[in-house]
Structure 1
Amino acid sequence: MQAEANGINIHYQLTGPASAPVVMLSHCLAGTMGIWDDQIKTLEQQYQVLRYDLRGHGATSAPDNDYSMEMLASDAAALLDALEIPGAHFMGISLGGMLGQNMALLYPEKVSSLILCDTACKIPQETHQDWEERIAAARRHGMAALADGTMQRWLSPEFQKAHPDIAEKIRNMILATPVAGFAGCCRAIRNFDIKNKIGRISVPVLILVGENDPGTPVEMSQEIRDAISGAEMVTLPQAFHLSNIEAAEPFNQTITGFLAKQ
């Protein structure tokens, strides 16, 4: 389905019991709402599940300009308004976790709790040039130039070998990402730094991270945990960046246990 929100068309799906609390899911850079396929059946048993394609991804509009994390958070808030949903439990992975932190700071009345997966509260200055190089590669050669390197960070070689169908699905997401959307979101990530603000987040927070995540290592999750009072953190053994896929069963058990307490 499509909704007009914050000046763009946002592609979304809303499933599950109509009277149940809403869990809103936000995906990673170069992904789509399909990143959450392994969570849907579990969550739909007790919650309405709202997942959507971020600005510049999937079937959502992809303006060709720089994006900011505040812009991406305002997209999420505007989608809730368009659907007349007053608030939700918010779960985001990687880029989705970054905008989720901004969501909790900018629109605290809309966030009942926050689940942050394989993400960070600050992108190190020394990686800024890396992000510019990724943008340049995508604009020059298309997303195919980035697919191999991205897959190496996202899923372990062992998992890819054991689940070639899942690996192919994820690779196809990367390849189908609009270059304009990829570039816009890269700039939002490159400029992201709310380390000195996240201590103001007051809703319950759960942090999950893959033990072997090379993109946003465990130390980045520990930094968030230490900054937010009462935040819980769970490390998922052996998983890489997409811990919700590589360690789907313990991931799902952890998030449903957390949500049940809210």
Structure 2
Amino acid sequence: MKLTANSIDIHYTIEGDGSVVTMSHALGCNLSLWDEQAQALSARYRVLRYDTRGHGQTSAPPGAYSLEQMADDLHGLLTGLGVTATHFLGISMGGMIGQIFALKYPSMVRSLILSSTTSRYPAAARSAWAERIRAIETKGMEPLVEPALERWFTAPFRVRRQDVMDSVRAMIRSTPPQGYIGCCHAIPAIDVTDRLGEVRCPALVISGKEDPGTPVAMAREICAAIPSSELAILPSASHLCNLEQPETFNRSLLGFLDKVA
């Protein structure tokens, strides 16, 4: 299904009944990243998944995006669907969108689940994002595929689950280059650590113990900054810990949601 909001067409799916849980995916992915979580939650919750601006079947306008713009996309989607409040689950870039959204539209967030994400990057990280943009502009998405898998999953999991690797490869390859580039402008600009004390809803912060991109230290920083928060560290998991350790991830997620809902 699609809904027009904030000047783009947003692709989304809704499953189940109950309190709404909105899921926001990682850079270079799409709403199918959450298949296992949607299946686990839809018996008790109304699960809303959507493709972020520049990804999947959502519009990918040219130019640089901002996290504030993507939070406004989400606001437009929720408003268009008549959703006044939601639990929010975001991983990586999705977690960054969630932090901005919770600060900008606090009355709409019942709880916040932030996985494999950060509330700020060091200034030195910006050059790496600029290099990635240049690489995509000259060579397209293909050179990103294998390095992403190496960052996102532990080596034993990559060997053991070729089916998951093939699925994630397909997601990355199908991401529109200009959409990916647009998000690459937004991500390194995040800097909200000092504002997270404003977040009043309950929060769960999830981190893969072996995540090199958004390490446990970043999760601890978010958890320390949000007043009503708790931390779950998943062993034997890297960045996309919802795919690498789905049972453990879902147990933490459901335990938290059932408590706060």
TM over 0.5: yes
Instruction: From 31, 34, 37, give the equivalent of 2:35.
Output: 37
CA distance in 1, matches of 2:81, 2:217: 37
Aligned equivalent of 1:75:
73
CA RMSD between the two structures = 0.7
CA distance in 2, matches of 1:225, 1:153: 23
- Equivalent runs, 1:10-29 vs 2, <5 Å: 10-17=10-17, 20-29=18-27
Count of residue pairs brought into register by the alignment:
260
Look up the SS of the partner of 2:12 in the other structure.
Answer: strand
Aligned equivalent of 1:202:
200
CA distance in 1, matches of 2:6, 2:259: 32
Look up the SS of the partner of 2:3 in the other structure.
Answer: strand
Letter in 2 for 1:132: A
- Equivalent runs, 1:111-150 vs 2, <5 Å: 111-150=109-148
Q: Does 1:5 align with 2:5?
A: yes
CA distance in 2, matches of 1:33, 1:124: 29
CA distance in 2, matches of 1:76, 1:83: 11
Deviations 1:60-79 (A, max 9, x none): 00011111110111111110
CA distance in 1, matches of 2:28, 2:122: 20
Look up the SS of the partner of 1:196 in the other structure.
Answer: helix
With normalisation by structure 2, the TM-score equals 0.98
CA distance in 1, matches of 2:36, 2:136: 29
Where does the alignment leave 5 or more consecutive residues of structure 2 unmatched? none
Look up the SS of the partner of 1:113 in the other structure.
Answer: strand
Percent identity reads: 44
CA shift for structure 1 position 230: 2.3
Aligned equivalent of 2:237:
239
CA distance in 2, matches of 1:223, 1:33: 27
Aligned equivalent of 2:50:
52
Letter in 2 for 1:194: V
- Equivalent runs, 1:87-106 vs 2, <5 Å: 87-106=85-104
Look up the SS of the partner of 2:194 in the other structure.
Answer: coil
Where does the alignment leave 5 or more consecutive residues of structure 1 unmatched? none
Instruction: From 60, 83, 86, give the equivalent of 1:62.
Output: 60
Contact 2:201–2:228 at 8 Å: present in 1 too?
no
Aligned equivalent of 2:187:
189
CA distance in 2, matches of 1:144, 1:241: 20
CA distance in 1, matches of 2:97, 2:196: 12
With normalisation by structure 1, the TM-score equals 0.98
